[in-house]
Amino acid sequence: MSGNPGKIITITGPMFSGKTSRLIELMERHILAGRNVTLFKPEIDSRYSENEVVTHKGMKLPAIIAPTDERFGEFLDAHAKNSGILGFDEAQFWKPSARLPQRLEDLANSGRIVYVAALNRDHFGNPFRITADILAISDEIYVLSAVCSKCGNDAIFTQRIINGVPAFGEIIRIGGKDLYEPRCRNCFVWPSTQMRIGDI
């Protein structure tokens, strides 16, 4: 596949901005064109299905559950060798030991077209480092916004909500509308300075 022009196309934004829907739409175009497509989802995310990527609105596409740690390299070698089109959902869940950005670039350099959907910020309002690293090596970027749950303006933040109140805790916590809301900059509730700087 080294003769083909590879590239990395990243879709980013807050929760409920349609990142996974856009990922599925882009990959379905290749399926309709008869190309070999492989979609990966992180093993930590089984909210709607074990073997599909599913949007909050119910769109779905078959997917392979992938490890998100040091096992990922060998796993990817085994499952990606026959596909020219590769997709990765919820990229922010991959751990540094998986070396996801480097592996995505290797795939693109070998002539593959790589699609990535990644959350832009955590619920503290801080950028996800892995998302920032992937954006830096992307050929194309889709930046999506959601609708603020408070005022209806464009939302670029994801607010964690417990019992209707903004809450802060561990960085990774799987959830949907029961746990998160999209917020604009004016409506987003920031944690204290100490909470933003420190790891919880």
CA distances (Å), origin 166, targets 54, 100, 124, 173: 26, 31, 10, 14
Q: Which residue has the higher pLDDT, 47 or 62?
A: 62
pLDDT for residue 143 is more than 80: yes
**CATH annotation of 7-145:** 3.40.50.300
Domain ranges of the chain: 7-145
Confidence at 48, pLDDT banded by 50, 70, 90: low
Matching residue, tokens 């954006």 = 135
Residue 80: count of CB within 10 angstroms of its CB: 20
| Catalytic residue chosen out of the listed positions 90, 140, 170, 181 | 90
To the query of whether residue 90 is one of the catalytic residues in this protein, the response is yes
Confidence at 8, pLDDT banded by 50, 70, 90: very high
Matching residue, tokens 């070396």 = 99
